Amino acid sequence: MSEAILPQDLIPTDGRFGCGPSKVRPEQIARLSMPGSPMGTSHRQAGVKDLVGSVRERVSQLFSLPDGYEVLLANGGSTSFWDAAVFGLIERRSHHQVFGEFGGKFATASAAAPWLDEPSTAKSEPGTRPALEAVDGVDVVAYPHNETSTGVMHPVERASGDGLTVVDATSAAGGIDFDASAADVYYFAPQKNFGSDGGLWLAAASPAAIERIERVAASGRYIPDSLSLQQVVSNSRKNQTLNTPAVATLLMLDEQLGWMLEQGGLAAMDTRTTASSDVLYAWADATSVATPFVSNPADRSKVVATIDFDESVDAAAIASTLRASGILDIEPYRKLGRNQLRIATFAGIETEDVRTLTRAIDWALSN
């Protein structure tokens, strides 16, 4: 069967709706070759170090970090952060809110570490989230701010008890407003709302988190250098990383941070993602064959909308028809296995493009 071709006026100005790597704004790419760009220069000299300093300063501004919070950064992406936390942040036992793949992966990493006790977990079905309840005898409470595999948000809040609150903000950071004082570690990678590339992780860390990192490092536990959070703290304070960072990733991240601040900061980004995701949820509510996957409206993600289709429709075929016209990466999360489209509405994505996308899906449904 030959693919029908989407009419030109139903093609968004930018067809990238994937959950990471995600849409890069042209200004971010242009930044790489601007006069004075530090591309191709030493990461131990002022050019790259000042860039790292700017990224750290702008993250701090964007999140309105309370006094004493520090911005950390290191190589490896959010997945490496889980291993670093298992070595250098969890003292004995962690608790994990598990409601999808990403929250589950951190729990698995903690469970596999022979020097830690078996973690506690609270699980719920995909498309929902567990309530955050007090757990005794844990020193870390972990959950994703946004579960990218299902499109469910979890409020950034503290459980009663004295564990550090450690939030995976990989797909939420920069797109969803939150109270930074409610988290001890709010960590993320720059390939989602920040429209940069992967391979780096950043975190806003509270004084209590820094104190914990120092205590665990001093405990005599074996910690490899490349996963040492203590090394991350001391290197970040010097605006550097243990080994060579991707300079292009830092430049594109810095550009996006500057744009976000100029547009009005995190509140303005939250307004954008709310508008874009509302377009999709309202469209699904109004379309007989489509339904928002997340049934509780309060849990529906502002940055990753998941839309179920009834069995008369083949969502994979829609994704492939639209892909042929340059509308990319709206397939569902592969392990969720639903008849679904998953559409990112990250901060850099234009609401008008999301509107055009819904019209393109309507067209695919009727062709």
Ligand X SMILES: *Cc1c(COP(=O)(O)O)cnc(C)c1O
**Interface residues toward ligand X, by CB under 6 A:** 20, 77-79, 102, 144, 148, 168, 170-171, 189, 198
**Of 80 and 320, which CB lies nearer to ligand X in the complex structure?**
80
Q: Which residue has the tokens 């001391």?
A: 234
- Rounded to the nearest whole angstrom, what is the least distance from the CB of residue 241 to ligand X in the complex? 15
Provide the angle, in degrees to the nearest 10, between the axes of the packed helices 207-217 and 77-88.
Answer: 60
**Please, what is the minimum distance in Å from the beta carbon of residue 21 to ligand X?**
9
**In the complex, which residue's CB is closest to ligand X?**
77
Shortest Å distance, C-beta 115 to ligand X: 23
Least distance between ligand X and beta carbon 254 (Å):
18
In the complex with ligand X, the residue whose CB is nearer, 88 or 144, is 144
Residue 6 vs 129, nearer CB to ligand X: 129
**Residue placing its CB nearer to ligand X in the complex, 25 or 154:** 154
Q: What's the rounded Cα separation, in Å, for the pair 146 and 346?
A: 12
| Pick 166 or 290: Cβ nearer ligand X | 166
Q: How far is the CB of 300 from ligand X (least distance, A)?
A: 16
69 or 346: whose CB is closer to ligand X?
A: 346
Comparing CB distances to ligand X, the nearer of 127 and 361 is 127
The least distance separating ligand X from the CB of residue 103, rounded to whole angstroms, comes to 8
Q: Which is nearer to ligand X, 170 or 231 (CB)?
A: 170
The 3-state secondary structure of the chain, one letter per residue:
CCCCCCCHHHCCCCCECCCCCCCCCHHHHHHCCCCCCCCCCCCCCHHHHHHHHHHHHHHHHHCCCCCCCEEEEEECHHHHHHHHHHHHCCCCCEEEEECCHHHHHHHHHHHCCCCCCCCEEEECCCCCCCCCCCCCCCCEEEEECEECCCCEECCCCCCCCCCEEEEECCCCCCCCCCCHHHCCEEEECCCCCCCCCCCEEEEEECHHHHHHHHHHHCCCCCCCHHHCHHHHHHHHHCCCCCCCCCHHHHHHHHHHHHHHHHCCHHHHHHHHHHHHHHHHHHHHHHCCCEEECCCCHHHECCCEEEEEECCCCCHHHHHHHHHCCCCECCCCCCCCCCCEEEEECCCCCCHHHHHHHHHHHHHHHHC
Residue 78 Cβ vs ligand X, minimum distance, rounded to whole Å: 4
CB of 148 to ligand X, least distance (A): 3
Nearer to ligand X, 170 or 321 (CB): 170
What letters, b where the CB count within 10 A reaches 16 and e where it falls short, cover 278-306? bbbbebbeebeebbbbbeeeebbbbbbbb
- Minimum distance between the CB of residue 301 and ligand X, rounded to whole angstroms? 11
